[in-house]
Amino acid sequence: MLILISLLISFALSHQGVEGDEHSFQIRLLSLPTSLLMYAVASLTLLSLTLNWSAWKLPFRFGSTEKGHVLKPAVFYIVEDVVAVDGAGKREYREAFNARYNASPVFRDMIWTLSVVWMLWFYVFAVLFTVLVFTLPVEAVYAVGWAGPFPLAGILAVWTTYYVKGQLRREKDDGGQVNERTALLGGQD
């Protein structure tokens, strides 16, 4: 992913431009890394969903998923890594999160839905900002290409918060398996 973005930036900076272009093409290319990142994340999420749906078994350990188990949707690994590593949840969180995923159909459906929704919106945002970068006046494209996706992703994050809270309530109401270990993940009020 980062290699693609580096290649894009390197190409843009090495491009000489044409007479009278005023570096317009370079500026437009340098405005695309955020869109390229969204295309890449959405495509990897699509791959994870496809492999999960087809019950593809991992030939190696991936995150907390052991070799021989089915790959989980991308949001599972993103949440697991962000909380376990950046949030200092450590191995205890990974184990609890994995146990919650395995024990609760509502939780599994929630992770699947979050992966699908974020993937689809990342594709929509990536296409939207790619089109804007190549159609807006060159004076605006750098700001639009780099800053534009973040407020939209913020709106999606707010939706995610409400959706997850609703699904966790549904899980609890449905008698979801919540115990001391999975309570770490918000299963009890």
Please give the mean pLDDT across all residues of the chain: 85
| Residue percentage of the chain with pLDDT more than 90 | 55
Highest-pLDDT range among 32-36, 82-86, 129-133: 129-133
pTM: 0.81
For residue 24, the one-letter residue type is S
pLDDT of 60 over the 90 cut: yes
Three-state SS across 13-53? HHCCCCCCCCCHHHHHHHCCHHHHHHHHHHHHHHHHHHHHH
Q: How far apart are CA 71 and CA 135, in angstroms?
A: 39
188, two tokens: 């009890």
Q: How far apart are CA 116 and CA 121, in angstroms?
A: 9
What is the SS3 assignment for 65? strand
The 10s digit of each residue's pLDDT in 135-159 is 999 889 989 999 999 999 999 999 9
